[in-house]
Structure 1
Amino acid sequence: MPLHSSPIDGAPMRTIRRYGIEIDICPTTGGVWLDRGELEKLIEIIREDAAAEIPSRARLRRGDDAFEDDGERRQGRMDRKSRLLDLFDF
């Protein structure tokens, strides 16, 4: 259940929903609160994103020429904002 007022200063909370996670935000202090189970969802997003990056990192360490020649694909990954950063971009 979302908070209606900030426990810090009593200001009305703002609720945003991203990637199935509901985040309560105090607009004056910037405090962030998660409901029960939301932290576990956040951890799962981090795990999924990290698992998706493992093959890319392994190819970079190996010096895979096919990977290095594919500049468009590599640039796409560099431009892509992580879901974690996107989640807290408010």
Structure 2
Amino acid sequence: MPLFLCPNDNSQMQKITREGVDIDICPSCKGVWLDRGELDKLLVAEREESEKSMQAQRRFQEEVKSFEGNPDEWKRSHQYDEGQKRYRYDGDDDGDRRHDGRRKRRGGFDLFDLFD
């Protein structure tokens, strides 16, 4: 590995990789140096991330407009399905007797047996 020296203070530079791009950094003066084409790679990655962010923002704005236009219809189309009821924390088990307050002891190895 070649030894790169900082042009500002002649200290040894460190190489780090961000977004698949090798960046040379001077630990003493905090200078950052890029090789040919590395800035372009970073800009492409930033542009792609920006596009994803804009798409998410557009989807969110569409949902907001849909909700503001007709909240009742929006709520009907975005209901939780019946399978999600088990995740409610209101204390109502909807007649589910699988969880009657008793805990079965599992057979075999139990991690907490180590501390007994």
Q: TM-score range by the shorter chain?
A: 0.5 to 0.7
Measured in 1, the distance between the counterparts of 2:18 and 2:4 equals 19
Q: After TM superposition, what 4+ stretches of structure 1 lie above 4 angstroms from structure 2?
A: none
Corresponding residue for 1:57?
Answer: 57
Calculate the TM-score normalised by the size of structure 1.
0.63
CA distance change for structure 1 residues 3 and 21 in 2, over 3 Å: closer, same or farther? farther
Looking at structure 2, the residues matched to 61 and 24 of structure 1 have their Cα atoms a distance apart, in angstroms, of 41
Deviation at 1:13, TM superposition (A): 0.3
Q: Which residue does the alignment assign to 1:14?
A: 14
The 5-angstrom pairing of residues 47-86 of structure 1 reads 47-62=47-62, 63=64, 65=67
Gap runs ≥5 in structure 1: 70-90
SS of the equivalent of 1:17 reads strand
Whole-angstrom CA distance in 2 between matches of 1:18 and 1:58 = 28
Match of 1:39 in 2: 39
Structure with the bigger percentage of helix: 1
Equivalent-residue separation in structure 2 for 1:32 and 1:3 (angstroms): 16
TM-score where L is the length of structure 2: 0.50
Residues 57, 31 of structure 1: alpha-carbon distance in 2 compared, 3 angstrom cutoff: same
Equivalences, count = 66
Structure 1 residue 53 displacement after superposition: 1.0
Gaps of 5+ in 2: 68-73, 79-116
1:5-58 deviations in whole A, cap 9, x for unaligned?
101111100001222201000000110000000010001001110111112111
| Distance verdict in 2 for CA 1:7–1:31, change over 3 Å | same
User: 1:24: which partner in 2?
Assistant: 24
